[in-house]
Amino acid sequence: MILTLLKSATARLAAAGIEDAREDARALLRHALGLDAAGLIARGEAALSEAERARFEALITRRASREPLSQIIGSVGFWTLDLLVTRDVLTPRSDTETLVRAALEAVSDPAAPLRILDIATGSGAIALALLSELPNATAIATDISAAALEIAKANAARNGLESRIRFAGTSWADGMEGPFDIIVSNPPYIAPEVIETLEPEVRDFEPRLALDGGQGGLKPYAHLFAQARRLLAPDGAALFEIGHDQGKAALALARGAGFERARIIPDLAGRDRVVFCSATEKDLETGRG
């Protein structure tokens, strides 16, 4: 019975253009039954009740309409965390783990009482991932969206990190006072005309505010680099996620803002993914002048 249902659901999702149809069907069946992977295996071929079949059918219908799996299930794994996801925030993606990894590699003493600033935090994924690895660090996470901040707060509590993070409803880093040892951001970086060509899961279900990076997708960066110059500690690091084709342009903006040693860090697929900025104390003092 279960194998038959999965085969039918997989075919339906594949026909809707979903690449990982089989995996999604299995994930939705587990969700409908309230089981983990081991529990689904243990259930074997036991027949589903009418209520279970109805729940599964409703979930498959939603996914076939290209609603993101993460929003249907309501959560997604990121780094070592389990994060709540709604239509008010971007679904955290594995590409962003490149930024987390690079930020951690820049820390000389993981036990130090570091100050972290996460600009445009969304679900809180980046700040919370860093806090989970840096036991004495604290963070401030900003977002202009009140709804996004509520999700981020819930994720902090969900992962036992609420005592070490504060949230601020503001545009970018407006009103923040440094210095910060780590500054991170995954800002909107998609050009408006490109958004309409994206997969329906992104185009139709994720917040446009978190996608639209203005002309060329680069509008936020000049302001972000300037804010980082103002707020970064002398030995600190600032890291910004970028689109895979934006490395050259973003690097020029970073260096133009005074981060002469800025460099690009690729993701696991070898594509440009993060602008890494650091500055000496002398550089920062010159920038403030």
pLDDT along the chain (289 residues), means of 10: 90 97 96 87 80 96 98 97 97 97 97 98 98 98 98 98 98 96 98 96 96 96 96 96 96 95 95 91 41
CA distances from 121 to 44, 58, 97 (A): 41, 32, 14
Prediction pTM value: 0.92
Q: Please report the pLDDT score of residue 39 as a whole number.
A: 80
Residue with tokens 């027949």: 47
Query: What's the half-sphere exposure (Cβ side, CA atoms, 13 Å) at 163?
Result: 3
Query: Can you give the three-state secondary structure of the chain, one letter per residue?
Result: CHHHHHHHHHHHHHHCCCCCHHHHHHHHHHHHHCCCHHHHHHHCCCCCCHHHHHHHHHHHHHHHCCCCHHHHHCEEEECCEEEECCCCCCCCCHHHHHHHHHHHHCCCCCCCCCEEEEECCCCCHHHHHHHHHCCCCEEEEEECCHHHHHHHHHHHHHCCCHHHEEEEECCCCCCCCCCEEEEEECCCCECHHHHCCCCHHHHCCCCHHHCECCHHHCHHHHHHHHHHHHHEEEEEEEEEECCCCCHHHHHHHHHHCCCCCCEEEECCCCCEEEEEEECCHHHHHHHHC
Q: Please report the pLDDT score of residue 3 as a whole number.
A: 86
Sign of the alpha-carbon dihedral angle for 207, 84, 158, 93: negative
- Pairing relationship of beta strands 81-84 and 165-169 according to DSSP bridges: unpaired
Spatial separation of the C-alpha atoms in residues 178 and 218, rounded to whole Å:
25
Q: Please report the pLDDT score of residue 282 as a whole number.
A: 44
Q: Please report the pLDDT score of residue 43 as a whole number.
A: 77
Residue with tokens 């689109």: 243
Q: Please report the pLDDT score of residue 42 as a whole number.
A: 75
Residue with tokens 């995954």: 186
